[in-house]
Amino acid sequence: MILGLDHVQVNAPRGHEEDARAFFGAFLGLEELQKPEALRGNGGVWFALPDGRQIHTGVTAAFVPSEKGHVCLFCNDLDAVLVRAEQFGVVCSLDTRLPLRRLYCSDPWGNRTEIVEGRHTQ
């Protein structure tokens, strides 16, 4: 039946595309994908993760940021992410409640994003 996760969509306000490119592209280093022609008029931007999964941003008319629900990305060097965040002016907060190293930051529209070093095992 279900084999895995293909993509997640992050809600964003109308006109967010350049901020999405700055956050997901420049800061996080994700490759921008070409949206299918039939969907380009909807707005939004698609990005590829190194494992083939994708993050899509989508225009939401009555946008409200998601402060709790979030995307969680994993990396191999959280310290490097923190340095990069400082370079890009992205405010991060470390969370030490688990043995796994992780941080939280917000995209330019206030949606929560989690980044962990390694992988969740439970």
What pLDDT band is residue 119 in, cutting at 50, 70 and 90?
confident
- Contacting residues for 116 by C-beta, under 8 A, at least 6 apart: 72, 73, 74, 75, 78, 100, 101, 102
CATH 3.40.50.880 fits 7-117, yes or no: no
Would you give the distance in Å from CA 1 to the centre of its chain? Answer: 27
The tokens for 23 are 């956050």
Tens of pLDDT along 94-115? 999 988 999 999 999 999 999 9
Tens of pLDDT along 2-19? 999 999 999 999 999 999
Task: Supply the pLDDT for residue 110.
Answer: 96
